[in-house]
Amino acid sequence: MALRKIVTVGDPILTKKCRPVVRFDEKLHTLLDDMADTLLEANGVGLAAPQVGILRRVVIIDTGEENGIVELINPKLIETDGEQTGCEGCLSVPGEYGIVTRPMTAKVEAQDRYGDWFEMEGEELMARAICHELDHLDGHIYTEIAERMLTPEELDKIAAGDEE
């Protein structure tokens, strides 16, 4: 278990398409465990492997719900429904937030850390996180599709809210 360095916007690695995982070995498990440590330390909701410099189709999500950290290897979006518009941030775009419209529900098919396929459906924050993280695997960041970024005044309000 170790912390990995989070790559920030401007680094070309974040614009690259990731390759599928083919070996579900100790190296993958170490990556997943390190990503979990890194996500927890950064207090984030999700992290994709390219954000720690690894161009593989690996994503972890922790919405703070009882299901804990969800690991998605080689994930594919198979169904989306509805729409939600809200605030979104990214550990690779520190200190900024934008308004992004995403599906309200998202169903994904993925492999677990042992290579077994499963399906899961997420709503609200989970659906937003699934879409956000899967975009990273194809080299896309939410700022490309944000309706607008929050102003410094709006960011101050959020920061003040966090202290309460």
List of residues contacting Co ion (CB under 5 A): 90
CB closer to Co ion out of 105 and 143: 143
Please confirm, yes or no, whether 133 is among the known catalytic residues: yes
Contacts of 75 (CB under 8 A, 6+ apart): 57, 59, 108, 109, 110, 130, 134, 137
Say how many C-beta atoms besides its own lie within 10 A of residue 83's C-beta: 9
CB closer to Co ion out of 146 and 153: 146
Q: Min. distance of Cβ 136 from Co ion in angstroms?
A: 6
CB closer to Co ion out of 70 and 90: 90
> CA 18 to CA 5: how far, in whole Å?
18
**Tokens read off for 7:** 């790559």
> CA 157 to CA 130: how far, in whole Å?
27
> CA 40 to CA 156: how far, in whole Å?
24
Name the catalytic one among 41, 65, 88, 133.
Answer: 133
The residues that are catalytic are: 133
